[in-house]
Structure 1
Amino acid sequence: MPGVIRTRVGYAGGISDNPTYHNIGDHTETIQIEYDPDQISYRELLEIFWDNHNPATQPRSRQYMNILFYHNTDQKEEFEELKLEYESESGREVKTELKEYEEFYLAEDYHQKYYLQSNSRFKNHYRDIYDLSDFIDSTVVARVNGYLGRYGTAEQLLEEINKLGLNEQTESYLKERYNIE
């Protein structure tokens, strides 16, 4: 999404120290998003979150529950407003939890930038450019990961393709995925 600077996956919401995928304890898998509020509002991010999960479903487990971690009162109020709108429009109770942000634990390296790491030509291209921490924190890597996951439009890709540090092979591949000639 335009305005999203970087994303990282990890664990949050529990009290156990240093969770991992195989020892998650009482945490939930989550995503951390850094964004530019001049380009995308918190409300717009919330609406995307709302549209990409079913807020009325009961979670299978703590690990995969629907939860949003807020950082301040304004974010909490925005969530509560959307929750009331959803319940009023759908007639269904929202099961998505809301919890104050306390700490985020970065997930293992192999969980980061899933779509990009699943494609060796992109993974190798960017791992040649970035060390691991820069790879995880890179805005460019986050954007390309999103495009590989089919999040974004052909128009958005064309607008920024020259800023993504792609080589001829990776640029051609992305253009093909979006039917760009």
Structure 2
Amino acid sequence: MSRIALPTTQPTTLARDVEALGPAETETATFGMGCFWGPDALFGAKPGVVRTRVGYAGGTTSEPTYYALGDHTEVVQIEYDPDRWTYAELLDVVWANHDWTRSQKRQYRGVILAHDERQRAVAERSRDALADRTGQSVETAVESLQQFSPAEDYHQKYELRTLPVVADELEELYGDAFTASTVAARLNGFAAGYGSEGQQRDLLATLDLPPTVLDEVRRRL
């Protein structure tokens, strides 16, 4: 599975990322919920979600790209703190934030891609419970993840990229680790309108960024 490693040397600005859990301490989940920009921001703003990335999965085409997607689906992949979230709780967020009653074109379909048999069993129970509770047919599929292909850079942290002053500064600081940044995930969520005022205030107070960058973030929030 593709992962983006943080560099071994970090600028002072990235202290919040240095303190973040490493991949060995997190668990990973992959969901298709329509266009992947929205779920990336939704999950990125949530405390306990450590990293997010968007990509393509659920199909058989090798090396999919946005303009040659084949039979893949747009998905968000998250790394989360298992002490803060259970997989079942993440599924509650998934059900509440996409239309699971409709069958969509494959690119934007609802799908839960389980990383192991435990996740698949939890997802199937959750799906069945939703159908029983609502009396409606659940069109969102539950499948096993076979491969995940990261999307192109311009799709990663899309909402944050609508603030080019901020995104350009962070990309210069992070380089290839921009997508793997917890700070970038949070700011991406905040830019889309997710997260509480307290979350936003607390994070911005810890970032040693130029005043012009912080002002641009605050202007959008």
What TM-score does the superposition give when structure 1 sets the normalisation length?
0.90
Is residue 74 of structure 2 the alignment partner of residue 23 of structure 1?
no
- Residue identity in the other structure for 1:162: A
- Distance between the aligned counterparts of 2:209 and 2:179, measured in 1? 17
SS of the aligned residue for 1:10 comes to strand
SS of the aligned residue for 2:179 comes to helix
Out of 82, 103, 116, the residue aligned to residue 58 of structure 1 is 103
- Distance between the aligned counterparts of 1:44 and 1:148, measured in 2? 24
Displacement of 1:164 in angstroms is 4.2
Displacement of 1:168 in angstroms is 2.1
- Distance between the aligned counterparts of 1:72 and 1:147, measured in 2? 31
Asked if structure 2 preserves the Cα contact closer than 8 Å seen for 1:3 and 1:39, the reply is yes
- Structure 1 partner of 2:200: 157
CA deviations over 1:63-117 (Å, ceiling 9, x no partner): 1111110012221122122212211222111000111011100111111100011
Asked if structure 2 preserves the Cα contact closer than 8 Å seen for 1:144 and 1:164, the reply is no
Determine which structure has greater relative contact order: mean sequence separation of CA pairs < 8 Å that are 6+ residues apart, divided by chain length.
Answer: 2
Change (3 A) 1:45 1:165: farther
Out of 155, 169, 173, the residue aligned to residue 111 of structure 1 is 155
- Structure 1 partner of 2:112: 68
SS of the aligned residue for 2:124 comes to helix
Asked if structure 1 preserves the Cα contact closer than 8 Å seen for 2:64 and 2:72, the reply is yes
- Distance between the aligned counterparts of 1:66 and 1:134, measured in 2? 28
Asked if structure 1 preserves the Cα contact closer than 8 Å seen for 2:56 and 2:72, the reply is yes
What TM-score does the superposition give when structure 2 sets the normalisation length?
0.74
Structure 1 unaligned segments of length 5 or more: list them.
none
Structure 2 unaligned segments of length 5 or more: list them.
1-45
- Structure 1 partner of 2:85: 40
CA root-mean-square deviation: 1.6
Change (3 A) 1:68 1:14: same
How many residue pairs are counted as aligned between the two chains?
Answer: 176
Runs of 4+ in 1 over 4 A off after TM superposition: none
Percentage of matched positions with identical amino acids: 39
